[in-house]
A and B are shown apart, each in its own frame.
Chain A
Amino acid sequence: MNIPNASTVPNPNEYAGDEVSAIVLDPGYSTTRAGFAGEDVPKSVIPTYYGVLDSESGSEYLFGENAIHNPLRNLEIKNPWSTDGIVENWETATRVWEYAITSRLTGAKQTDPIKNGLNDPLNGDPDVEMEGLDDAEKPLTDSPLLMTEPGWSSTKAREKYIEIAMEDWGTPAFYLGKTGVLAAFAAGKASGIVIDIGASMTSVTPVIDGMVLKKGVQKSPLAGNFVSNQIRLIFNQSQPQIPLTPHYVVSSKTPVDAGVPSQAIYKTFEIPPTASFRRNEEERVLTEFKESVVETWAGPGRFSNGTNEELAKATPGRPFEMPDGWNQVFGVERFKAVEGLFDASAALFDAENPRPKDEQTIPRLVQAAMQHVDVDQRPAILAHVIVTGGSSLLYKFNERLNSELQAMFPAPRIRLIAPGNVVERKYGAWIGGSILASLGSFHQLWISKKEYEEHGPSIVEKRCK
């Protein structure tokens, strides 16, 4: 019945890999991505932020988008990562990652019927329950797992990854890939320099022939969250102060004139939600602000060099409306939020947000990374500057990056590779992992359960370089 033609999908048997149905897990600070190898988008993208609900009976952990936006009292929003790109709380990180896999890929545990209150526990089928418990203990028993890690993770952290996968999840095979390499694979390059601007970290990774040049890896906290904090500073320092109101406190809004205090009807809470909850909700508004207002000065030259600011003033402003109806047109200010990524002296700062160091800016990171690359390899590397990460989607970010790099490395030809497709840009490392794990030739690289049992967690250092 299925006559193959040009438009039919090739039979899975014709190309290797898909039968293994490997799972690719790409944990990040803001979101955790998981999906099946061989697919082009991660099926499961969940917030890494989780909620903790404290009550007398102990703390309840809430995972996933649906659970963390409810303004409940005592709901604390936390993140298992530390702000410098290292997993801090392994226990909850494991649970978040497990949630990413089970919620949308493999299926929830079978223990639910008892808790859902619909079904009488008397009628529960003991056989099913037993199966459920087995599943609950080992959620990944039939899928190999490829995980990504940042380029700077320690040996100890790497061993922890394989331990979680093998011991907690029972995966039959495991591999650990570095985000930099995988992002380069996603762009179809084996060599290049990967600039990954994420939520908490910006990293620059030189990749040569599919291997990370470890000493060249650079990281800095000037990334998406830094831009958010810059926006907060702009709001705080403007006269009058701009109120940042998240959606959940507003019950209904009324249109008001630009710059005039809002006339919204606010919700009243007996006990207002926690500060961490509010901050997370404010972050959603800031994301919208970044999407619709913030702009990077495209260059040439820095924004603050005098003439550029004048030029920027001539461009029309962009309006923004807060959830409570307050609205204003943002003119020159909108360029200032991102400028700190390129020019530390232009960054806004206050007591809580110290001024970033010069060597933390993106151009300086690239420069530092290139210092570690052999001189004869530099032209090849600079020909593939791969830009990835959600924060690289800031408007005109790439134009600016390009002009900065051109100014810094005038001699070899610089080529920026940044997929126009938003999904590919956001999930670069995941897509690389998906490609890698579905390659037939990759099979020999998996660390099998047997090997793990034989050599212990240290095998990850030998096999996943």
Chain B
Amino acid sequence: MPPFKDEQIIIIAPGSETTVAQLGLPESFTPARLRVRSRMFPAEKEGEWEPYKVRRRIDAVGKKSMAQEEVDEINDMKKTFGESEDDGIIYEEDPISEEGAVWPISEGRIVNWTCFFALMTHVYNTLNPPFHTPILLITQPAWTPREHEKLTQFFFEKFKTPAFSLLDAAIATSWAYGTHTSTVIDVGKGKVDVTAISEFLPHGTGRVIALPGCGGEAMTQRLLTLLRSKGFTREMCEQLKKNPICEILPVGTALPGTADASAQDAITNPAAAASTGATASGPGHRETAAALGIAPRGPGPDTDVGDEANGDDDNEGVLDVASIVAGGKMNEYLARKDKEKQDKAAAKKKGTDAASAQSRPARLPNSKRERATFMYEDHLLLDTLKGMNLSSKGMADAQAALDEGPQRKNQDAEQGDSIVEQRLAIEPNGTIDSAFTSAHTGPIRREIEVGIERFQAGSGGILERIADAIYRTISAIEEVNKRSELWDSLIICGNGSKIRGFKDALMSTLQTKYLISPSSATIFTSELPSNMSTPAGTGTNTPQPQLAPHGTSSSQVNPLLLAATTAQNPYLLPPGGTALPSMHSHNAHSSHGQTPTSIKIAKPPEYFPEWKDVGYDEAAFLGAQVAAKVIFIVDQGLNKGYMTRPDYNDQGPTGIHYYSL
């Protein structure tokens, strides 16, 4: 077998929400090129799956329920698209809709195997690899050895891959960071995995696998619980969560002052208005439709999504909800909206007057502001519009009328722009939403205001449960002496951890709950120089005597010297500038056998410029790139880093357990 080359390697990282993949290793590692949402749609035939929603309609039925001019329009369209008129059944792919989608991975576990395999096939075909491509699959910790065998069998037999290897997501992350001992906290959509890794080997016992109810979805749900009374939908909360105005503040940070009642009354609630006007008139709020918010993220030049997205608006036809938004109701809504806008403008004027009267400083940071607004991309509304059989012009007009995006941008350049910019900055793959390039094909945007609820996504015990899981994982490590090293290099990754302030808040939760401070009872007073103040008792400015873990021998080193040389690392300070009690001093040399005496976040790697820009939330993919390079290119199978086809033929799927680094 000829050696593998960089450009032949496929890496696939399946996730509950997004599956990322890439063909070929670039010179300098970049974030994954292909991103697909991890869902498939059941096809006509039982057990088969389609990557996009396929709508099947019998045209004749549609005709009856339609007004004549609409039918004409459809016919026009059909002519344009070269469809034969007498074909009774129309199939059409809707690349954005997620109605009826099946998500094969849930909480990190594969719950629907045929669907999962179909997803893998779709990813593989989208990458369109040449022959002789080895595959590296990133596995979730929740997958069991038996499931690994099942996957091995599938990949060898379906794709005839010449070589295949599995890599645990947590190990991949530690490869990315290049730290041999670390604690990887992977915050996903529906779950959190906590893995203690020493010498690049994960500790199986005590590993917290798929802790439910702590991922990104849990935070969305938390926001929804808080905001439901204000007319928010899950989709709004999902977008709010991804917006930089949504932030988790470190433990003990006071929320910006409570709103005075009068202000609250005066503020119109566009969210509520919208949901009574158009949004709620859709066919109920489907769970699946909610996830639409980030749908356009996928399309790129190298996917087939991009091509279809454009023709879609004109083509999209007769979903049978037309009667609801059609007719006078939309105009009513628009009229009301207009009035609202004027009111608001007036209110805003007053507001700015008041503001300037107060002559407040330039701009408050988000965490100090009581209220903030964000752009909500209303896909549901767009779907409804699509369903109204509007001509392309009518569609564009309606969209333009409903879309608050561009106008708002002009009106409120300061805020809107900054949000857009920030938004772009946090987009993980740098693909700009089509919405910003062409206003009329993209989703309809509306501005929504939220109060202090936006700081409470992590409330309700989510952070504490994650913190407890970390504590449990590290406490389960048998080698007691390794624990403090594990506490000193935490890696918080996963797209669920992207929410602003999450990592800092988690760190401050850990620090306030678990950090062991030096005991004042062991203060070593006899060697204190006279110019030092008497020990205050908290041990903050007093050096500690150094005792070996079991107190059998005290250190030979002068404790003062020791304390002086191991002065507090400023990195230890809780991030976010919160004034926590100064309890971290000197605990790097505490006499405690207990851990943690210090908690630190591992330093991310710096030599991958492309990754540095987008952040290391998907570090597992970077690690997989490093690993793929090592096992397929450098090592070439000498250390049995991967299973080859002959190996598979010899040993069958169970052999996979012998091939890993």
A residues adjacent to B (C-beta < 8 A): 1-2, 8-9, 12-13, 19, 21, 36, 41-45, 65-66, 69-70, 102-108, 110, 112-113, 116-120, 122-128, 247-248, 250-259, 284, 287-288, 291-293, 295, 315-321, 323, 325, 327-329, 395, 422-423, 426
Contact = CB atoms under 8 A, between A and B. Distances in A.
A419 B469 CA distance: 29
A9 B113 contact: no
A257 B520 contact: yes
B145 interface: yes
A66 B208 contact: yes
Nearest to B288: A120
Contact of A113 (B111, B144, B252, B651): B111
Contact of A65 (B472, B479, B480): B472
B521 A319 contact: yes
Contact of B478 (A21, A284, A426): A426
Contacts of B636: 1
8 contacts: A65-B206, A110-B111, A112-B106, A113-B112, A127-B47, A248-B468, A257-B537, A317-B521
A254 B517 CA distance: 9
A107 B144 contact: yes
A429 to B, nearest CB: 15
A301 B206 CA distance: 37
B656 to A, nearest CB: 11
B114 A128 contact: yes
A58 B475 CA distance: 34
A254 B103 contact: no
Given A65-B208, A327-B519, 14 more contacts: A1-B646, A110-B113, A123-B42, A125-B47, A125-B112, A247-B471, A255-B517, A255-B540, A258-B521, A292-B594, A318-B593, A319-B522, A319-B591, A422-B479
Contact of A104 (B106, B209, B513): B209
A29 to B, nearest CB: 17
B340 interface: no
A1 B640 CA distance: 9
A257 B554 CA distance: 22
Nearest to B214: A66
B117 to A, nearest CB: 11
A66 B112 contact: no
Nearest to A5: B638
A248 B647 CA distance: 50
A128 B646 CA distance: 30
B654 A19 contact: yes
Contacts of B592: 292, 319-321
B114 A125 contact: yes
B145 A36 contact: yes
Interface in B551-596: 551-552, 554, 581, 583, 591-594
Nearest to B163: A1
Given A116-B107, A116-B111, A252-B512, A295 B550 contact: yes
B166 interface: no
A283 to B, nearest CB: 12
Given A69-B468, A247-B468, A255-B583, A291 B654 contact: no
Contacts of B106: 112-113, 116, 118-119
Nearest to A118: B103
Interface string B14-48: 00000000000000000000000000001000110
B205 interface: yes
A288 B475 contact: yes
B637 A128 contact: no
Given A105-B144, A317-B551, A323-B513, A1 B644 contact: yes
B521 A320 contact: no
A89 to B, nearest CB: 25
Interface string B198-228: 0000001110111110000000000000000
B538 interface: yes
Nearest to B545: A316
Given A247-B471, A258-B520, A123 B206 contact: no
Interface in B504-551: 512-514, 516-517, 519-522, 537-540, 547, 549-551
Interface string B350-391: 000000000000000000000000000000000000000000
Contacts of A45: 204-206
B519 A2 contact: no
A2 B521 contact: no
Nearest to A112: B111
B145 A126 contact: no
A253 B113 contact: no
Nearest to A44: B204
A327 B480 CA distance: 20
Given A21-B654, A106-B144, A291 B480 contact: yes
A255 B109 contact: no
Contacts of B471: 247
B404 to A, nearest CB: 31
A112 B103 CA distance: 12
A126 B45 CA distance: 12
B251 interface: yes
Contact of A288 (B113, B150, B537, B594): B594
A12 B655 contact: yes
B658 interface: yes
A14 to B, nearest CB: 12
Contact of A321 (B47, B472, B479, B516): B516
Given A247-B471, A257-B537, A128 B521 contact: no
Identify the 10 closest CB pairs spanning chains A and B, nearest first: A292-B593, A258-B521, A422-B478, A319-B519, A252-B512, A255-B517, A329-B521, A45-B205, A107-B144, A123-B42
A61 to B, nearest CB: 15
Contact of A1 (B1, B46, B114): B1
A246 B287 CA distance: 39
A456 B521 CA distance: 65
Contact of A119 (B102, B208, B472, B517): B102
B465 interface: yes
Nearest to A113: B111
B100 interface: yes
Contacts of B209: 66, 104
Given A9-B658, A315-B551, A258 B513 contact: no
B47 A320 contact: no
A12 B521 contact: no
Contact of B637 (A1, A9, A317, A319): A1
A66 B114 CA distance: 28
A113 B102 CA distance: 9
B610 interface: no
Which of A124, A126, A319 is packed against the most chain B CB atoms within 10 Å? A319
Contacts of B100: 120, 122-123
Which of A42, A107, A112, A423 is packed against the most chain B CB atoms within 10 Å? A107
Contacts of B304: none
A118 B104 CA distance: 9
Contacts of B521: 257-259, 317, 319, 327-329
Contact of A320 (B145, B512, B549, B594): B594
B146 interface: yes
Contacts of A288: 475, 594
A329 B519 contact: yes
Nearest to A45: B205
A253 B144 contact: no
B109 A108 contact: yes
A334 B42 CA distance: 64
